[in-house]
Chains A and B, each alone.
Chain A
Amino acid sequence: MTAPLDPIDRRIVKATQAGLPLTPAPYAAVAEALALTEAEVIARLASMQDRGIVRRIAVAPNHYALGMIANGMSVWDVTDDRISELGAQVGALPFVTHCYQRPRALPGWPYNLFAMLHGESRTEVEAKRDEVAALLGTACRSHDILYSTRILKKTGLRLRDE
């Protein structure tokens, strides 16, 4: 486990968790708001990146707005002895975005591999599902696909006020 955030790291997280300023010197803008120096904000973000606290500094596309209106969470019951090997192969498919091993919740939920499939239609998503099924072969005992019908909330992580 890495060291928890110190109070200054925490202020930087809070100042940037909704997004980075779209101004020519964004770290200087964050620094100014927090009464820090630009160099310190950059150094602390770099340190948080090294420690794995910042996963990446990046853009999050809105799949739906970009026409990827079918979003299927495919779930698979994969034999335990092959889950790591096959999970890595499924995760490497170009059309799979998020891919995780998660615990089963028996008896109602036998699935231990979750792979998010995006497409312009359910037909396209189901063709992708078929490719995953072919890859898993007999190591997969059953599967299902859960489509999202509404985004109910999407804010990302928010730190509480101390």
Chain B
Amino acid sequence: MSNENEMAEYAISINNLTKKYGDFTAVDHLNLNIRKGEVFGLLGPNGAGKTTTTLMLLGLTEPTEGRAFINNMDCTRDSIQIKSKVGYLPDNVGFYGSMTGRENLRFIGRLNGLTGESLEKRIDELLKRVNMEAAADQKTSTYSRGMRQRLGIADVLIKDPQIIIMDEPTLGIDPEGVRELMLLIRDLAETDGRTILLSSHQLYQVQKVCDRMGIFVHGKMIACGSLEELGNQIETPGKSTTELGVYPDNIRLESILRQMDGILELEHDNNMYILRTAYDIRGKLSRELTEKGYTIMHMRQAGSDLDEIYRTYFEKEAV
């Protein structure tokens, strides 16, 4: 079957996945393919169904309808094999407080069939990689949230997973911690060639690290692609919006703008012009205004950053 060949390229393949809780549909006919070695971000507000999707991928919840495959194994039926290949870092990961970080790792390692010398070596390597060597022999009840998260990553890596699923990995970590985490995630994908699926509602942190993103609202994937692709998708075809701030902001400026080709609409709002144009006229605009002695203070094409994209999608959904 050609379908199966196609699937082999994908690490994660989700077909029509649906989960209903009574009348409430948490995940609604989700289709998604994630390539091997890719970092995919699942973005959406709280309660969008991100966690439910990850639970179904791990076989912890049965889908109402549809199927999901990881490395061509059915997520619901072969859940044991899947769980030995997939590492899951839950949102707000917990450890046994009465055990040290090292003991916690050892316990999970033994559950994955590792023993003795090779396990100890692996634990040491991972503690070094997540920079937790100093605190490894302290009880985990004394750990801060950032330390728990780092130990959580070591815990996920102990079984050497091909695929890592992270649920809100950046939640509650300070900016420096987030930066380190993002470097680590990038490194896991690039150096080790692991596939990473991470869900988050914190856009800026995620956009830096993901190859592709999916925007997930009310159980539906409403857009999917790289940052540029998402940007292109939200723009109304044949129209683009540019914000413009110019000094000096005088009456002559408006007439110049009105005379320019390509500008369909013009709004003046708080020292800022919002131009609806037929195409991207930023180059032409800056040349012409500079020639006439104006200084451009601000010029930005709307829809080019994730916040805008995110907001636009949520607005669309709300309407």
Q: Do the two shown chains form a genuine complex with each other? A: no
